[in-house]
Amino acid sequence: MDGQRQISVYQFKVLTILFSLGSTLLVISSGLAQELKQDAWLGAALGTLGGLALVWLYNALAGRFPDKTLTELSTHLLGKTAGRIFMLGYLFFNFYSAAALIWYVGNFLTTNLFTETPMTALMILYAAVMLYGAHLGLGALARSAETSFLIFMFALIIVMLSLLPEAQTGNLLPVMDTGPGPLSRASFTFLSFAYFPWASLLMIYPKHVSRPEACGKALYTSVLSSGAILTAVTALTVMVLGPDRTSIELYPTYNLTMKISIGHFFERIEALLVLLWLLAIFYQAVLIYYAAVTGLAQMIRVDEYRSLNLPMGLCLVPFALLIYPNVGYEQAWDYKVWPVFSLTFALWPAVLLLVAAVRGKMTKRYTKNGS
């Protein structure tokens, strides 16, 4: 298929960090503050620990089957019929996720920046960029991510340092004032945004990483790094905006940057945050879509996934408009349905590990009886 699909461990680590930040960076503070108020940052911190458990699961699967993608492994362990049924579900999960991210971009830009521009036009433009990224291939995306990540981190640090004069630590008090119920719900929501979508990355890891045996530690580093960033951003948002305002804002992190004013000279830099977010969500969206289109190619046995890139991509914007008719529906879906929906696919590797273990025991038993 694509001879340029092998990427380095460092490149994969950078991609996973940007992937985790993606849509999560701009919106998660609001959802956490609705449940936990001033303890919103605790939900992000606890959710990060859940991300480490998920990485352990994915590393266990990669260690046993280093030469297969998730769809190939499903067919290998479950057979053609059951494997293809899963492949259809996995394909829908990835396609749905990619379409949802395009909708997020269109809605955000229309609401905050290009208020006179039709949302559909912005979605089409962003989808075109995403399709071009998928067409270039995994190697090109990984190489560009190395530079993009450095720019992203430098700009993010500048934004966060600029907000420190506006921060009020009293907005974080009292600490641990919420009960275990809200904390567990908020952490689960955080996981569903930041780490459950990592199921899409199993179309890349371990098969297309040059040294998969060294990638385990890199994934743990990715979770800790992205989790630390999201926890810090959430805490800073609450300190600057306060828990009540954070909980009612649709895009609290964007509103956060409007507070930056240093000497009446360095101010109104919210456009910088928009560029950071668009950069991170681009890599998240294109990798999820890449998983969808390569998964479809494997399912119908097409050697070159690029032949499916444009036909499949043309369906993204209409599907995005179909799944989210309005903001109210999107909010209800994202916080009530999405966590459970995404969990189904995030834990699918656990099912495959169980099947592999059972088949391994059965094979040993038959071998022993035969001898």
- CATH code assigned at 163: 1.20.1740.10
Q: Tell me if residue 307 falls in helix, strand or coil.
A: helix
> Does 4 reside within a domain?
no
> Does 63 reside within a domain?
yes
Beta pairing partners, 266: 262
> Does 144 reside within a domain?
yes
Taken in order 35, 37, 41, 46, the sign of the CA dihedral is: negative
- Give pLDDT tens digits along the chain (371 positions): 444 578 999 999 999 999 999 989 888 999 999 999 999 999 999 999 999 999 999 999 988 998 889 988 999 899 888 888 988 999 999 999 999 999 999 999 999 889 999 999 999 999 999 999 999 999 999 999 999 999 999 989 988 888 888 899 999 998 888 888 999 999 999 999 999 999 999 999 989 998 877 888 899 999 999 999 999 999 999 999 999 999 999 899 888 888 776 666 666 677 778 888 899 999 999 999 999 999 999 998 898 999 999 999 999 999 999 999 999 999 999 999 999 999 999 999 999 999 988 877 666 555 555 55
Q: Return d(Cα 142, Cα 241) in angstroms, integer.
A: 36
Q: Which residues contact 340 (CB under 8 A, 6 or more apart)?
A: none
Strand 261-262 relative to strand 266-267, pairing:
antiparallel
> Does 99 reside within a domain?
yes
> Does 264 reside within a domain?
yes
> Does 1 reside within a domain?
no
> Does 101 reside within a domain?
yes
Query: Tokens at residue 19, please?
Result: 């992937």
> Does 347 reside within a domain?
yes
Q: What is the residue range of 291's domain?
A: 9-370
Q: Against a cut of 0.75, is the pTM above it?
A: yes
Could you identify the residue written with the tokens 């969990």?
343
Domains of the chain: total: 1
